[in-house]
Amino acid sequence: MKVKTIIMLCLFFVPILVLSSGIVTSTVLLFALYIISGFGMSGIGMGVMHDAIHGSYSKNKKVNTFLGYTFNLIGANATVWRIQHNVLHHTYTNIEQADDDINAPFFLRFSPHAKYYWLHRFQHIYVWFFYGISTLSWVTTKDFVRLKRYYDMGFLNKKGEYPKTLASMIAWKVLYYSYALVLPMIMLPFSWWIVLLAFISMHFITGLMVSIVFQIAHIMPVNEFPLPNKEGQMNANWYAHQFATTANFSPNSKLMYWFIGGLNYQIEHHVLPDVCHIHYKKLATIVSETAKEFGMPYNVKRNLLHAIWDHVQMLRSLGKKPVLIPVEIQHNEF
């Protein structure tokens, strides 16, 4: 984990430092360096901060807190992520209106229970653009929108916690934009819009990679989208729920396992979120055997392309207009 952390931080920051030095004069090199930083940003997000904010990077809470701030360094916000991911996504996986990972804008439909619009029939085509700009949305507007919404939901309710978090978020984002965009704009001999396009290309790489990894783990034909009963209770226990709503992919790819922080073993991550991802591969045998023992699903796609293809098929299915099946009402005599 220490070696990976150093590599990912260098992969992100070294190209930015080179750009900020002003020595780059080639447009091709400008875009190449920003794109390399995009891979580093993805690596920080999936392989460093993800474990840190889950508290699984280290047994030392201070180390986890410190490394969780690497998320702030790449423009996002650790506090918002902790609520959105640790609390909402991991507790209410694939539950409509509760799991923020499937609470999409109106033009995307990630759940069979979400409202249908005619344009959803094309979502499997245009969704890739929105995946690509997802992290750009994070670092501009989405964090602020979510922070306010989570406050209204009852989070961050300690005295002064919300304004303090908001002020901290603004400060971190000013720092991020200063070194990742403004400084290169000032130092490099290119028009501002060229540097901006290169900066956007960095985020497009990151957004596409991160979105694909997380989406093919949950929005798949084999995954369930359960709803609570009238009392707001789920029928299955939490562990059974995680097995039913989560899928693995590419279990034999050592490179992918290393680079994306073991998130190709999403089932292991969801049932053991406080365990560092370097152990997932070894734990997979135990987890899969446990699933079989208790009659729970253990969904695995053999490789990334297979998983993406199934994800596309799921998006196509969700893009079809739901068929309303009339329910015959029976009057029972008591």
DSSP string of 155-174, one letter each residue: -S-STTHHHHHHHHHHHHHH
Beta-sheet strands, E only, within the chain:
247-249, 299-301
Tens of pLDDT, residue by residue over 76-95, are 999 999 999 999 999 999 99
Tens of pLDDT, residue by residue over 119-168, are 999 999 999 999 999 999 999 999 999 999 999 999 999 999 999 999 99
Arithmetic mean of pLDDT, 279-308: 96
Give CA–CA dist 332/43, Å, rounded: 59
Query: Which tokens belong to 233?
Result: 């209770």
Tens of pLDDT, residue by residue over 203-217, are 999 999 999 999 999
Question: Within a 10 A sphere around the Cβ of 239, how many other Cβ atoms?
Answer: 14
Buried/exposed code over 164-195 (b: 16+ C-beta within 10 A; e: otherwise): ebbeebeebbeebeeebbbbbbeebebeeeeb
Q: Judge whether residue 329 has pLDDT over 50.
A: no
Query: Could you identify the residue written with the tokens 């490099």?
Result: 188
What is this structure's pTM? 0.93
Would you place residue 331 in the very low, low, confident or very high pLDDT band (cuts 50, 70, 90)? very low
Specify the pLDDT at position 126. Answer: 97
Instruction: Calculate the average pLDDT of the chain.
Output: 94
Give CA–CA dist 37/130, Å, rounded: 20
Give CA–CA dist 198/29, Å, rounded: 10
Question: Within a 10 A sphere around the Cβ of 273, how many other Cβ atoms?
Answer: 16
Q: Is pLDDT larger for residue 176 or for residue 325?
A: 176
Tens of pLDDT, residue by residue over 269-289, are 999 999 999 999 999 999 999
Tens of pLDDT, residue by residue over 224-248, are 999 988 888 888 789 999 999 999 9
